[in-house]
Amino acid sequence: MEDTQRPEYDVVVIGGSIAGAATALQLLRGSRGCGCGMGDGCGCAELDKPLRVLVIERQVEFGRRVGESTVELSTYMLTRILGLTRHLNENHIVKQGFRYWFTNPDARDMGKSTEMGGRYLTRVGSFQVDRAELDKEVLRRVEALGGEIWKPANVRSLTLEEGGTQTLTVKVGDEERTVTSRWVVDASGRQAMIARQRGEVEPIKGHPSAAVWARWKNTLDFDSPDTIARFPELGKGMFGTRHTATNHIMGDGWWAWVIPLKNGHTSVGVTWDQRIFKWPRTQGSTLAEQLRSVLETHPVGRALLEDAELIESDVHVRRNLPYQCKTAAGDGFLLVGDAAGFVDPFYSMGLDFLSMTSTSGVDMILTERRGDCIKAKLARHNDMVGKSIPRWFEAIFRDKYFYMGDFELMRIAFLVDIGLYYLGIVRPPYKNGKMAIKDGMFYAKAAKPFYLYMRFVNHRLAALGAERRKRGTFGRRNAGQRMLVPGFAFDSSIVKATARAMIYLLKLELSEGWRCWRPKRGADGSIVLRDKDKPDEMKTPTSLQTAG
């Protein structure tokens, strides 16, 4: 191609938050040689000329957003690939894993609620992040490496040409510009600009979830002397910290996240399955009041918000959470993070999916920029993303809300899900380097047995949950129990956790599982609950009141 016909940019990234900025940063570093010591296999061999990268961001300043809790795989990307360790330690909170709180009518207060989580501090790092600060820092590093930033700017139109030049019309302030590029990276989040333009956004059937969230001041300090004095049960046998964990308040058909932020605010949100939980839409109440009313049905929620003050301008709602995009990449475009799909916020794995789509996509773009054929890598990338989301859903989330409010069932899921996540998803990059992230969610051949076992366990727990509802024993041990585990690491702790879960499951199968080996399933593959087995207040879901 003649220089006069050469696109103005090698890559244009739509969206400057963590998905777009992380991808741009990897591209810029990769085109200069990243110094990772893995040679050509890492996709970062230095190019003849550094890539010309443009990032288009619609906001002048980043606001807060969900995705505030990282887990072990995304932490690997943030620290060992993007080099953000110092920034994370200085500006965010070191996370102390997951913690879960269950209740039933016998749990009169927080001290009587059943608790599940770590006994000690975590051994493999993760963080609670203020997304506005994190997004700003990564984008700053993109600019420092020579990336060009346009903001506030909006893409008005996009014309894709397979294997050719991509053309975008962009409004920058009051000016409209036309720009050309060899590649376009869609990091627009749920807007999913490219997939929607191509008509390829597909809802994930069998998981009609929704979420409402807000941020608060002066919420409960889980570790304060006052809290321990008030609930003395919490002072026994626990040697880590509860407050900086992601605390989960577990309801029937819903759960809430509690995520502390560096400035003293706390992010609190409820996610629910619309088949089995009815959002309270009281006449004249605000969305924030409705959120509070749900949280206060749980003793931990009542304690959490007892002295809390709502940040009035920071209340949000989102419906129909899960979706998948049919094509994750073409010869000239790439979808990363939420622009490629999303399943559920439980377990905080959204940034993991960003890590997978971004790392694989960056390798593909750098390969093409070196002049090599990308046909095989493009096919593999689409196959990886196309299989990762359904496997992620089936192994972890199908009908999970049917049983997640029952401690006896959820403890099995917790041990299996986290243990095999460590073994099949997190361990490979820590052991073999960053390109293992390209193997996606249970996509690698070695990870498939973990997927099959997790899917089996999840399906059995959902069937047991439905049976317990029928027999009136759901949540029978949600009061007065405390399961504190030593933690997870890349050692025998994984085997011990999964073996412990297997024993729990075997006991349940022998005592009650024989009643539900063939649960009734609907056309979408999900278990069908009888109306009389649902929570008393559950009816056909109503439409939500919008925020603001």
Distance separating alpha carbons of residues 143 and 212, to the nearest angstrom: 34
The first and second tokens of residue 548, run together, are: 């603001």
Per-residue pLDDT for 48 more than 70?
A: no
Q: Return the axis-axis angle of helices 131-144 and 18-32, rounded to nearest 10°.
A: 30
Predicted pLDDT at 40: 46
For 408-418, the pLDDT digits (tens) are 999 999 999 99
Q: How far does CA 213 lie from the centroid of its chain?
A: 15
For 442-485, the pLDDT digits (tens) are 888 888 899 999 999 999 999 999 999 999 999 999 999 999 99
The two beta strands, 323-325 and 341-342, are antiparallel
For 139-175, the pLDDT digits (tens) are 999 999 999 999 999 999 999 999 999 999 999 988 9
Distance separating alpha carbons of residues 151 and 154, to the nearest angstrom: 8
Sequence spans of domains, the chain: 1-91+129-202+322-394, 92-127+204-318
The first and second tokens of residue 417, run together, are: 């899900």
Q: Are 25 and 145 in contact (CB under 8 A)?
A: yes
Closest CA to 474 of 208, 276, 303: 276
Hey, which residues does 203 pair with through a beta bridge? 323
Q: Are 400 and 346 in contact (CB under 8 A)?
A: yes
What CATH number is given for 1-91+129-202+322-394 in this structure? 3.50.50.60
Predicted pLDDT at 312: 83
> Into which CATH architecture does domain 92-127+204-318 fall?
2-Layer Sandwich (3.30)
- Classify residue 457 as exposed, middle or buried by CB count within 10 Å of its CB (0-12, 13-18, 19+): buried
For 103-151, the pLDDT digits (tens) are 999 999 999 999 999 999 999 989 999 999 999 999 999 999 999 999 9
Angle, vertex CA 119, rays to CA 352 and CA 397, nearest 5? 35
